[in-house]
Structure 1
Amino acid sequence: AMGAFWGMSAVYGGRIGLDASGVALLITVSILGGALLQWPIGHYSDRGDRRIALALVAAAASAAGLLWAALGQFGEMVLIGGFLFGAASFAIYPIVIAHLIDHLSHDDILSGNAALLLLHGAGAAAGPTVAGVLMGWLGPVALPLHFILMLAPLALFAWWHARHGKDVIVEEAAHFMPMMRTSPTVLEMMTPADAPEHVAPATDETTQSA
């Protein structure tokens, strides 16, 4: 869905009659909506079950796609649908990443994220192609309908899994590595005059006088 958004939204805007500034504004308000709701959605996800958070944002993005499709015939009114779609859909990938990390041991996080990024890239490549074919058949309304077809099943699956599946979070702390507060680069920049004075080692005379 997100690959189709990034790849075909400009085409969609031109097909419904928006000029260049209107297309740019559609993309801008979508990004703005995603930026404004990243923190509150992430905060909600951290405080509860991420599967429920994923189900809610995917359902909200599907509803925004439906509104987008309905407002497409009213020109710049589609900006409302774009804003709401961006507000919900941009939080999906971060929630999925956080949910994945919760269920992987520390040693498996890198490989798990690499696999998820590979799947994300495959979807980003296939999304514009599928959406473009649908738009060729059904017209520009096919783009928001494509969003609904992709995100509604995700919402249903996440909700079903939250109700019937177990959420076993890995309680494994990361390997602790002590680090100096000052980086080695800063230490190399210190001149001898800046170096701290070393305390002279105790001698036999000072020990006896003590």
Structure 2
Amino acid sequence: MIQVLRGSWALLLGLTLIMLGNGMQGTLLGIRGGIEGFAPFEMSIVMSSYFLGFLLGSTFTPELLRNVGHVRVFAALGSTISAVLVIYALLPDWHAWALLRVVIGFCFSGVYITSESWLNATSTNETRGQALSAYMMVQMIGIIAAQAMLNLADPGGFVLFIIPSVLVSLAFTPILLTAGHPPAFDKTQPLSFVRLYRASPLGCVGMFLVGGIFAALWGMASVFGTTAGLSVGEISIFVGCIYAGGLVFQFPIGWASDRMDRRLLILVLAVVAGLAMVPAAIFPLPFWALLPVAVIAGGIANPLYSLLVAYTNDFLDNSDMAAASAGLLFINGLGAIGGPLITGWAMEVFGPPGFFLYIGVLMAMLALYAGWRMTRRPSLSSDQTGAFAPLSPTASAIAVEAALGAAQEDGPQDHGPQDHGPQEPVERPAT
């Protein structure tokens, strides 16, 4: 790990500052939207727009990198993010915010792709797994710390918009001054969604549902807090608990993932999370009772993303890994776009408990589908599966591919039969 920090400290420091800025702006908009009198559904459009921009960024940034280069793309996106963070306060209108969220989502997606390709290129086969672990840890810590910074000033003023703008501007200084030769960016041949679905139906359906869950937690948690009448300090603690749970639960769930049928683990986790949402969806819980619900929701939703990626990887040939990573992220992005919209509608109809109702329903759908898939084919033994790789739902296809590659080096190389069902025997893919 010391070798990783020595070679990537500037990138990791810059990413910490970037995540502080991104974590602040997401929660701050939900709070400021309540101050401005925006309805929950209006704010859901604002929050959903980020994921639309993020999906567009993941699609078009690779072409920008090949045509313009990493340094120019990195600098341009960073400058745009810094500007948008200030413009939010200048244009307190939800229509303008929605457009700005598309722009900033595009930019953050491009920043992640650029930085992850740099991190991947500066790592060796021996250090890549540690580098990616440090990268994911930095992301989560940055988001959690950002929630505490919301208490530094009045969310009705300009200061809390200026702080993340400054942080993001400073983030690019160590990165651009210490970055070596920009890495090559190869074009990945796409894997059709039909082939991806045939490889793992649960992986595809699960990624779509988890995308909707994560987007609701990321985008609408602060909107829920504002609608429920929580203070700024309480909202920051509530959102922080969501990400703290995601950080802590990754490790025990990853340990279990490598030792049991991953479909059963997905089913159990979805059931636990769904049941945990029931009290909050029925009763107006006091603040202290909301915190364990937040920990469970985030603590299960984040590892479920990594678990579904690992499960899908169990049925992929090495040569399909990069294309499959891009396909899974696209499916996840589609689910993420709809997540805040449906959550906003649920909160308009059922009030603040609609936030938990939506998450509970999607968890129930995931549990039911995982249970049905368990009837379609026998489970793989632990020696037929690759290792679990902790991932953030905000990671790009580059990080997902690199993490899966590192996990395959730690796990067996003989993959099980494709997930078509027991009635469709197929040959094992070569690895």
Amino acid at match of 1:88: I
- Kept in 1, the 8 Å contact 2:215–2:340? The answer is yes
- Aligned pair partner of 2:278 in 66, 70, 80: 66
1:158 aligns with 2:370: yes
- Kept in 2, the 8 Å contact 1:57–1:91? The answer is no
- In 2, the alpha carbon distance for the partners of 1:83 and 1:20 equals 18
Amino acid at match of 2:220: M
- In 2, the alpha carbon distance for the partners of 1:19 and 1:36 equals 26
Asked which structure has the greater CA Rg, the reply is 1
1:39 aligns with 2:39: no
- Kept in 1, the 8 Å contact 2:267–2:368? The answer is yes
Aligned residue number for residue 337 of structure 2: 125
Evaluate the alpha carbon distance shift between residue 123 and residue 145 of structure 1 in structure 2; reply closer, same or farther with a 3 A threshold. Answer: same
- Kept in 1, the 8 Å contact 2:277–2:293? The answer is yes
Q: SS at the partner of 1:48?
A: coil
- My pick for the range that moved more, 152-161 or 59-68, is 59-68
Shift of 1:75: 2.8
- Kept in 2, the 8 Å contact 1:29–1:83? The answer is yes
Aligned residue number for residue 149 of structure 1: 361
Shift of 1:69: 2.6
- In 2, the alpha carbon distance for the partners of 1:89 and 1:120 equals 13
Question: Higher relative CO (CA 8 A, sep ≥ 6), structure 1 or 2?
Answer: 1
> TM-score, normalising length from structure 1?
0.77
- In 2, the alpha carbon distance for the partners of 1:110 and 1:67 equals 41
- Aligned pair partner of 2:263 in 38, 51, 73: 51
- In 2, the alpha carbon distance for the partners of 1:113 and 1:8 equals 26
Amino acid at match of 1:106: N
List aligned pairs for 1:162-201, cutoff 5 A: 162-167=374-379, 170=415
- Kept in 2, the 8 Å contact 1:41–1:91? The answer is yes
Aligned residue number for residue 17 of structure 1: 229
- Kept in 1, the 8 Å contact 2:217–2:298? The answer is no
Aligned residue number for residue 3 of structure 1: 215
Amino acid at match of 2:219: G
- Kept in 2, the 8 Å contact 1:68–1:82? The answer is no
Unaligned stretches of 5+ residues in structure 2: 1-212, 385-414, 417-428
Aligned residue number for residue 115 of structure 1: 327
Unaligned stretches of 5+ residues in structure 1: 175-210
Amino acid at match of 1:45: S
Aligned residue number for residue 105 of structure 1: 317
Q: Between Structure 1 and Structure 2, how many residues are aligned?
A: 174
Q: SS at the partner of 2:293?
A: helix
> TM-score, normalising length from structure 2?
0.39
Shift of 1:73: 3.2
Evaluate the alpha carbon distance shift between residue 105 and residue 148 of structure 1 in structure 2; reply closer, same or farther with a 3 A threshold. Answer: same
Evaluate the alpha carbon distance shift between residue 143 and residue 20 of structure 1 in structure 2; reply closer, same or farther with a 3 A threshold. Answer: same
- Kept in 2, the 8 Å contact 1:58–1:152? The answer is yes
Residue identity (%)? 29
- Aligned pair partner of 2:294 in 82, 87, 105: 82
